[in-house]
Structure formats: C-alpha cells, structure tokens
Homo-oligomer: A and B are copies of this chain.
Amino acid sequence: MKVVIIGSGAGGLTVASNIRKYSDKAEITVITRETQVAYSQCAIPYVIGGEIESFDEIVMHTPEYYGEHGINIITDSEVYEIVSSAKFVRYRPNNLKKTNEKDLDDVVNYDYLVIATGGSPFIPPVEGTYLKGVFKVRTIEDGAKIKKWAEQTKKAVVVGAGAIGLELGYGLKQLGIEVSVTEMLPQILPRSLDPDMALKVQDYLESLGVKIVLEKALNEIIGSEKAEEVVVGNEHIDSDLVILSTGIRPSIKLAKQAGCTIGNMGVSVNERMETSTPCIYSVGDCVEVYDGITGQKTVSPFGTTAVRQGKVAAKNIIGRDAVFRPVLNSVVSKIGELEIGAVGLTETSAGLNGIDVIIGRSKALTKARYYPGCKPIDIKIVCNPEGEILGCQIIAKETVAERVDTMALAIAKGVKCTELTEMEFSYAPPVSMVVDPIVLAAENAIEKMNNRI
C-alpha cells in the first residue's frame, strides 16, 4: 500500500506515524514545502518571547528520523498537481518553482492520498504589508525571522488579538519592546471569550504594559522600504515591527484541483476524514468540521484537532474503522502567568445562534483559602434553560487547561448543572477547594434557573 501525504504539520505527520504504527508494509511518503518538520507551531510565540530558549527546542524530530522509521519525507518541495483519475501527484523542488522545465518534475503514485495542506495566514488587503519588518507568523522560519528582527526593534504592533496575537504581544513586551496589540472587534479573544471575561485578560495585559487597541481595523502600514507606522482605524502607531496575526485561511487549492468538494469553511470531509474524491483523505487546518453544539460548519485550526483527525484518517486507511466527531473547540493559552481556557459555546455565540442560555459564574480560588499560593479563579458557564452545559470559560494563574478538559467532557456527555454539583471533585487543601469552583458556578446557574421559574 502506497500512502502519499501532502503537508508535514501535526495532521500530516500524525497520519504518517499512525499508519507506520499499524502497518509495517505501507510505503509512506510525505511531501512538504517546509525544510523543518515536526515542530510545534503553538510554541513559536513562546520562543520569540524567550520563555523557551531556542527554536531548536521546539523541533521534535528531523526528516532523517522519519526516514529511519520508514517514512520518506520529501522536504522543500511543492505538490502542484493531483491526478486523481490515475492516482499520482506531481511535485517539484521549491527552488525550481519558477521554471517551466517539466522534465524536472517528479511523480509519485498513491493508493491513498492525504491532503494535509493546512492553512495560510490571512494577509489583510491593505497597503504596506510587503514592507520589510512586516511578518506573518505561521512557520518556524517566520518565527526565526521575527525573533531576529525584534532584536533591533523598539516599537511593535501585533495586528489581531486572538490567542497567538496576545501571546506575541506579551512575548515582545518581555523583550523590552513597546507593544500595541490591535483588534478590529470590540474585545480581545473574540472567538473564545465573552466580553466580560475578555476584559479580565485585557486588564492583566495592560497591567503588564501591553497596549490594547480595540475596534480598529488595519488600514495601512506606512514606510519607505521598511515598516515605520501602522494605521488602525484613524490611529497612527509608530512601529518598526509589525506582525499580522489575523487568522488563517484553509489551503484548499490542491484539493479543489483534485476535484474534491470544497465547503464554505474548507475541504469537505465525512466523519472518516474522506473527501468526495475516492482514496483521498484530508485532515488538519484545511478541512471544515461541524460544531458540536450548533451543528453548523466551522473550522478547528488547532494542533490537537489535526492530531485527532490524523489518527482517524490513518485508522481508516489501514482498514480499522474510526470516526471524527463534531468539535467543541477546547482552547487554552498562557499569557504571562495567566491561563485562559474555553470550550463550547460562549454567551455571545449563543446569542448569534438564537440559543437561549443561562449563565453561571464563580469567583473562587484554586486551592484552600489558607493554603499559601492559592490563586483567584474566574469561571463562567453557559447552559441551556434545562441546565445542560453548553460552554465554559476559565481564567486563573494555574490549572485552567485541566478544568477546561473536565468541562469539555461534561459538554460532550450532555451533563446538566445539577449533575455537576453532585459530582465528586477531589479535595485536599494544597490543591483544591472543598467545594470546587466549577460546582460553585453550576450552583449559581441553578439559582438563576430557579429564579426564572
């Protein structure tokens, strides 16, 4: 069995290593435009800010490592055609991209093809984005370029106040750079948090000296040769480093060319991760998925999603059955000391979807009040009028990710607030409160439900 995988991100490499795990015989080829593979994209802001020492640290394996495990990785190469009727792909080395010498092309046949082309950064269609000192942040090379440029930077602007934008903003501030993070929407972290919770994160960032500029879209980047000034809304901000952290768009070009159905949000796949074209699978940031609560099509551009999808595709390719379920989009970020996590529906997204919800809140502590080092924790849960939990947002300086995981499971299993209050949360003073902050939030929601009746 010959499996060809296009793309060496979390999705593509998970397919490769899982097929290898289940099958000694499969011939596995990964073709990637990148030089380095198997690195953590999510870690790039932390290397830039110096929390992680170097980019070398975040590379898990070399292409040679994969070669030793029977996975052939062709780096620095671009697949430019999928011939699905005859089941082969054409690719050529990157450095030949602009030639027309067809005889330099290579061809590789497949029994199964996996399109794991990921996404490419969205570059706002304004003047000046191609000036020196303006960067996107996607690959490890992007990260290295930013880190180098930042060495001679005094003032920086990060455009886009999603998690990556804020992590970058904080990181650059740690390097002693004056930083503004700008956002066209009226709050930071608009995809994950409601405005009230976002404000807590904003306060924290501002207390550290990161400037937050809201409700101002990028209009222009001004500079001769290199970036000198960023214009957002009507505001001019001096800046010799500009990072565009304005989201990514699924890379669907190859899938489209292969005849795969493309949806509004990305490559269309079934729950087995199969595209509409026989023997072609697709995983990762390039595919569209279903939202576990609204049922609508959405994206899930997270490494964890890509890994889970990659495992499903690998199992189906080698003949085991597996399905990928609709997503709740669990997210977590650490900015400075603050952990911010969310899963499922926000109050805002409920409103946009016409879903009636009740909110439960708690302001509590991560440990017993009297135990040294206990930290404040803010929880907001979103549930439907029957008490079923639909979403949760958590902010604290520790143990946020794990609590979000508990709530992800609660949402997936249709757990109601009452059931949550009956649940056994473990307790010891150095690690928890005798009544868990999640229970307090659920009790608050129940109280509001009772008051409604």
Contact = CB atoms under 8 A, between A and B. Distances in A.
A425 B325 contact: no
A430 B341 CA distance: 13
Given A339-B431, A428-B334, A406 B401 contact: no
A369 B59 CA distance: 10
A372 B52 contact: yes
A403 interface: yes
A429 interface: yes
B415 A406 contact: no
Given A405-B426, A422-B308, A426-B404, A58 B415 contact: no
Nearest to A300: B424
A192 to B, nearest CB: 10
B43 A427 contact: no
Interface in A295-345: 302-305, 307-308, 311, 324-325, 327-334, 339, 341, 343
This chain: copies in complex: 2
A58 B424 contact: no
Given A10-B434, A405-B406, A42 B427 contact: yes
A426 B401 contact: yes
A124 to B, nearest CB: 25
A127 interface: no
Interface in A397-437: 398-406, 408-410, 412-413, 415, 421-432, 434-436
A368 interface: yes
A409 B426 contact: no
Contacts of A341: 426
A118 to B, nearest CB: 15
Nearest to A450: B320
A214 B208 CA distance: 52
A301 to B, nearest CB: 12
B40 A368 contact: yes
Contact of A424 (B40, B371, B408, B427): B408
B372 A51 contact: yes
A226 B42 CA distance: 62
B425 A304 contact: yes
5 contacts: A43-B368, A43-B371, A400-B431, A406-B406, A412-B423
